[in-house]
Structure 1
Amino acid sequence: MENSAPHSSGLTKTLSLPHIVTLYIGAVIGSGVLLLPGLAAEKAGPASILAWLLMTILVLPMAITMGLLSAKHPSSGGVSTFVRLAYGDRFGNMVGWFFLLSVPMGAPIVAVTASHYAAVLLDWGPLQVYLAAALILLAVVSMNVFGLQVASRVQTVVVGLIVAILVLAVIAALPHAQVSHFTPFVPHGWLSVAQVAGLLFWCFIGWEAVTHLSEEFVNPEKNAVRGVLWSAGIVALLYFSVALLTVATHSYGLGRSEASLSVMVQLSLGPVGGWIVGVTALFICVATVNAYIGAASRIAYALAREGSAPRWFGLLHRKYRTPIGGLLFLTLCFALVLTVLALGWIDLARLIQLPNATFFATYIGGCLAGIHLLKESRYGRLAAWTSLIVTGALYPFLGWSALYPLVIAGLLLLWEKRKKTTVPARS
């Protein structure tokens, strides 16, 4: 079929609607579902479920904006391509680098998180934790070498298991739910609900990652938006159900908030529930890493095509037509970041602030592009404006890490200026 044929020199269209949906779910449902329901409930009490509901509504325009842009302009460059079309190459390349330099730190953080869950169950030491994280990253990179058709099939199985386990957790908690756990409803004031809403934004980041795979969508005009809507509905239902049952069973507080899902599952399943949550953590983290490594390797490929990255970033595998240049760059970065973490030069809490800032900057660029490129769609432009207002309002609260994208932008501008001055003039 024509839709599944490879481009003469580019990427192959292999991702159907089910693959797209599972990639979106895998990118968005991260370790936050294991950590934040309990922390949010501890900070805002039962009213935290209103914050979950609010963020579910607010992030929908963001997801729709990314889906509409992917449908209209499918490209491995993702958000950077949208910004390039709207505002020119300089800003497009800048946003591309924002995303590309997020993943070398973000993926190891997620892999180490998965390893820590395994360490609790298997009594591992620090060396085993980082070796396991390295193996997770290496396995996902290897899957992506063989193509997104292989990676997306694995993703479909993994996401299916994640959904099944989270549904099991909710069902297991139902007999222990009590109405009395919802009073007092706002024990810490309404300001705490607003603060929790900002915290929960991190649970819904991920829509931008799959835009970088849109060049490989089968029928992107139809499937990109459908994939966003299906996945957004599933993600919202899962998040809200887990958060609601966390409050209804009071599986938080007294030092239990960071493991609230485990506490909730063990109400019915006992110690075996700890193993279920540990396996869930591994699945969730593998799915997230898979989506982001696939996306980042393709933005590296796109930047090389645009001349904004070294040429070897654009190398494709001769047989599988996958971006092995970008995958090699990421692998080298992963080795460096894991080494820095293992040596204790920086901890996860501080490191995570840097990719968070560049993800925010990427979203802001995508929203600005959506306002320009979706002029003909009233709903598209409304979604883009709503997303821009939400992300722009939250950006100042990032603190010192908000400077990281500005540093990247400054270095890129200096590199471009130097490149122009070193190119010999033609006679």
Structure 2
Amino acid sequence: MKQMATYDLMETMRNTNEWLGASARAMASYPIFGMVPHPMFKVMSAWGRVTERSFARMTIKPAWGIRTVVGDEGRDHLVQTKVEIERPFGNLVRFHVQNRREKKRRILLCAPMSGHYATLLRSTVASLLPDAELWVTDWHNARDIPVSEGKFDIEDYTQYVVDFMKHLGPDTHVIAVCQPVPLALAATAMLAEQEPEAQPLTLTLIGGPVDPDANATEVTDFGRRVTMGQLEHLAIQRVGFKFAGVGRQVYPGLMQLSGFISMNAERHAKAFSDKIIAAARGLDSERDDHNRFYDEYLSVMDMTAEFYLSTVERIFKGREIAKNEFVVNGHKIDMGKITNVAVKIVEGTNDDISAPGQCLAALDLLTGLDESKKAQHLEPGAGHYGIFAGSSWRNNIRPLVLNFMDRHSKHEAKANVDATPVAQPEAKPVVKLAASKD
């Protein structure tokens, strides 16, 4: 009950701040105050609007907001998201482009489960969709999953990725971003050993902690300083009575968000004060840069306690992936079994989350893979976000990744544009189950 009371206390504080913002906005917006020549009321109203929106966003899953894609013929095509595999802790979602010729590139984008929703990769999806058929792992908020659905740890995550790869088949290119990098690598190794005919064509690993000790950061240092007992005591709580997952042990999204903000507290404080001043002057807008960024940044999700704790204990502290000692459902995974899947590593020189070298360590584990199938790229001046969603991704990294896919594909790059229109396949039913070197 103590853990549950703390969880409900955090939600009460969030709800109270949202209410205070709404109250200030409504009171300061009374028309009668227009007769008082004092800026206090405009500032109060602006503070209320910004505060109400900010705290309200913390409980809302953002929409993908990708409505159309321009086809090769220059015409807009509508985009529809479809769930192809539905599971308790996460779905496989396809971005289906209507009335477009089927693209030869088929990409599975493994989104991170690290506090934010898969929509954090919205710009990544939008950049890949014109040139590929695209699927994304869409993870669920743990507070909305009943306790009766059981546990979900890194072994379950890996098995989900394996099943998604099997579903899409061997003509698939896999891209893993940040947190799922080591688990996507393990999933590929599982397929290589157990069902080699289902292996993807390529695996692109972007800024993930394969070996956290290769280049320590503040994130990895924290994992070293805190014991598992301390971490469980400080970070884990039980979902409160308001949600479907009542009683489930989680690492709360609101607690994660406080950690995110504390890392750059001064910058966030200035961003909000500037936004309030702009709103008071009438210079803001619904979809300005501030709102677009913070609508996503402030939307957080709970992680299951077992997933968070097993990630820290086995990936960061025990370094099971780095030591090639990772076990899934009692079976030891051998990264050396990967012999046919081309692997590309992407890192950024200014990445302060997964520093250069942490992801590159994957290539040393691939002892059975020919050097011609290994590639790496270190993007100068790019931070963690930039290597998968910023200008570095759009201008430099994305073209390299697509070229890498084409070189190691069964199809030539030119085959991505077929001269003959192909009829769109019927929608698959939802399946419900319990420096560069190229």
Higher relative helix content: 1
Greater RCO (Cα-Cα under 8 Å, separation 6 or more): 1
- Shorter-chain TM range is under 0.3
TM-score relative to the length of structure 1: 0.26
TM-score relative to the length of structure 2: 0.25
Max radius of gyration: which structure?
Answer: 2
